[in-house]
Structure 1
């Protein structure tokens, strides 16, 4: 469809409607308050339009709504608390808009939510501890916002969670101990934040983990060998951190499984890369500062015979190693 213009207030006269699908059109303007009087509405889809404005507090009138798709519009402003009081809400997708402000502590009221997608907006501040009340959630996407502070310990309450996307924010601190109790987790992406500390050996508890991305942070220490015990793992990205030491050869065995590890990215040297870099320094004049910087970067490189790709944290490029067999 290619419907245009604003949504008429007469939509409120559709008092018996249960599903309203207006996605993929060219509607503009704000959603009329009359829309929120449709208390029989279970599904509302206005995605992929050009709607704008703020979400009214009147949204609390959608008491029977189970699925709300507001993504890919130009909605702005903060989310009203009334949104988090909808008792039947199972899916909420408001991604790719211009929402901002902090998440309300009322978010814990979404006790029946299974999918929460708020990625690609302008949200700020910490994740409220009340997030742990979303015990039915199996997908939470918060990437590409401006969230800050540490991840709350209450994250451990998300016992059914399978997919958690936190990448491209400003989270800091270490991963909370409760994170390692999310045994149903399949995909975890916390890349490009300011997270630090060690990756605990308890990561071996995440037996269903398939994708593990933490590149572009400030993690330190060694890559725990327990990560290699995860038989379902297919992708590991730990480059652009401050890891050191030797990576266990146990990871090599994961490539032997046709459904096993496909890619393993880390900051490591490829073959004679380090020797070539040293030879180049001998024939080109460099400053003391350059030598010190090179030494620091070299010290951060891992010994990783089982890595499929080695990355340069300065150039931000990764190259295949040729060290492993299989489809990499």
Structure 2
């Protein structure tokens, strides 16, 4: 009799639990705006598409992924105590992520690429079955990696990419605390500090920490014996040398230390790593004398470093950044002041012949492709005539017009990203998932044969000579009859102009001060490379917010090189046809047509004024005496003597000011 009672009690409990699941699922259905292809009309949630249940009608899986669904998550979601998989990625679900501490059986939590605005304070608490977590690409406010991660003792993969993490990396990623953790991806956040010592005692196989603000030594890596891939690239301040002990990590396949402050040389011992495929130590202070000979299967990248046989030099970025920042914060018209300081009557140098025809060929640098200039010739291609995509002898990708029509939906208006003097820019996606931006020249014969063709050649000429993290990358091009198309990396956050001047109508958040400062530094570094570190010195001639593109991580890249010119050596100028955008042109250039690298410095100063004030270089909606930003800015600077609040009143009201920011004046 007692056994029968217990059985009845158990059945009652199961029925109650199942009915509780029904309540939660109905709440979830009500809180989401489901798309037409998601059928949740049946009264029984276990019959719904994308929902899985066990034999007791308990919900074990919800997989609503890549549907574009809007809405929020109900607060009682944690009552689905038998839930094993929750996958809602690539939707537009917003609001807070609710308390999930009751999901003790949850193994997979995938909420990446949504619009969630916060995480619960007890995230990971009680979730000791959790194996995979993906919260990438959500617009959370600043938050730190929570201590409660330690409670997820079964965790194998933790991915928190581009979700506004701040603070330092906590020191609990060891095998003792998280024995199963194999992959840690914290890329494109705002983490600072050093690599924690607990990494040495971890079982990590993949470690991705690119795009941070990390510093300190990388020595802990040499003790991570399970490591297969390590990616630490991205304008960081990691220091020290690459130890020969890395050769003991015989599972290593990828070592990416691009753009740090590493010194020393590449140890010969690394050539013994049996599985190594990529070694990227470019843009460090490493000596590239006597680079060890690796097997042909290993790709070794060493560009932009300490060189060979010469001591490391301090970057001349201070020459650009410091005057710009100090000038703006002190309300001195930076561009005007710098331009006036350098102003003098230069010697005359004739402009090089602009009627050039470009032929690709290899340069001496394996990481840069040069384009030779000839007086009369045509582009030369290689590869099968029937091929859709092939590589010319320079290594540049030539993409057929058929492929570009396909990936842009036949150049559909829905795919338009923007327009310019060259033509129209379209968004596309290749078969392998690579997103691209396709710049299409206007196809009329007059445009192709004149200005547009010259700009087309100019962009290919410049971008195949240079590779820099703050210059937009050219992926390929197409020449087909009158069609001229350039294919670039896709920058998903659009232009700086959109974020500065059109954020309300595009329903964006205004840029905060930290982000504006980072963008200013990025642009200045790109300009510095053009002027100083490229194989030849170039003048952009059209720096402005609409030619500054932003990536997923909101880092900036300079684009649109159609008006670029080679810079003359010494204290000379080039005489050219005046080109560019009014408001960003140095006054003397607009009058004489003579250009030096100081033209770009002037434009950079104007952009910085726009970042500080939130006003356009030329704004006809302002009073007549305030239309021109530089003129107005100089008046504000002059009035600072009489009015100590002049600076504060000139700052963009959308910037939240604190005493530290104001003190930096």
Using structure 2 for the length normalisation, give the TM-score: 0.38
1:155 pairs with 2:194: no
**Residue ranges of structure 2 left out of the alignment (5+ in a row):** 1-28, 34-39, 47-56, 317-364, 369-465, 469-528, 536-665
1:191–1:215 CA contact under 8 A, matched in 2: yes
1:183–1:206 CA contact under 8 A, matched in 2: yes
Deviations 1:159-190 (A, max 9, x none): 2x22111100111101143x212222111100
1:16 pairs with 2:85: no
More strand by share: 1
Quote the residue 2:135 is aligned against.
Answer: 94
Q: Give 1:106 shift.
A: 2.1
Question: Could you say if the C-alpha distance between residues 78 and 194 of structure 1 is closer, same or farther in structure 2, counting changes exceeding 3 Å?
Answer: farther
Deviations 1:103-135 (A, max 9, x none): 112222222111111112110000111222222
Q: Give 1:28 shift.
A: 2.0
1:42 pairs with 2:84: yes
Among candidates 76, 80, 93, match of residue 121 of structure 2: 80
**Residue ranges of structure 1 left out of the alignment (5+ in a row):** 275-290, 295-306, 319-328
SS at match of 1:131: coil
Q: Name whichever of 75-84 and 133-142 sits farther off.
A: 75-84
Quote the residue 1:182 is aligned against.
Answer: 224
Quote the residue 2:148 is aligned against.
Answer: 106
Once the two structures are superposed, the pairs formed by residues 1-328 of structure 1 within 5 Å of their partners are 6-7=31-32, 16-56=58-98, 58-99=99-140, 100-132=142-174, 133-159=177-203, 161-177=204-220, 179-192=221-234, 193-251=236-294, 254-255=295-296, 260-261=297-298, 263-267=299-303, 309=367, 314=529
Q: Distance in 1 between matches of 2:301 and 2:145?
A: 33
Q: Which has the higher contact order (CA 8 A, sep 6+)?
A: 1
Question: Could you say if the C-alpha distance between residues 208 and 68 of structure 1 is closer, same or farther in structure 2, counting changes exceeding 3 Å?
Answer: same
1:134–1:157 CA contact under 8 A, matched in 2: no
Question: Could you say if the C-alpha distance between residues 79 and 223 of structure 1 is closer, same or farther in structure 2, counting changes exceeding 3 Å?
Answer: farther
2:267–2:292 CA contact under 8 A, matched in 1: no
How many pairs are equivalent? 273
1:55–1:80 CA contact under 8 A, matched in 2: no
Q: Distance in 2 between matches of 1:312 and 1:101?
A: 34
Q: Distance in 1 between matches of 2:201 and 2:276?
A: 23
Q: Distance in 1 between matches of 2:210 and 2:94?
A: 26
Question: Could you say if the C-alpha distance between residues 247 and 207 of structure 1 is closer, same or farther in structure 2, counting changes exceeding 3 Å?
Answer: farther
Moved over 4 A (4+): 291-294, 310-313, 315-318
Structure with greater Cα Rg: 2
Using structure 1 for the length normalisation, give the TM-score: 0.75
2:264–2:286 CA contact under 8 A, matched in 1: yes
Q: Name whichever of 161-170 and 25-34 sits farther off.
A: 25-34
Q: Distance in 1 between matches of 2:164 and 2:284?
A: 26
SS at match of 1:250: coil
Question: Could you say if the C-alpha distance between residues 5 and 74 of structure 1 is closer, same or farther in structure 2, counting changes exceeding 3 Å?
Answer: farther
Q: Give 1:76 shift.
A: 2.2
Quote the residue 2:21 is aligned against.
Answer: none
SS at match of 1:219: coil
Question: Could you say if the C-alpha distance between residues 87 and 152 of structure 1 is closer, same or farther in structure 2, counting changes exceeding 3 Å?
Answer: same
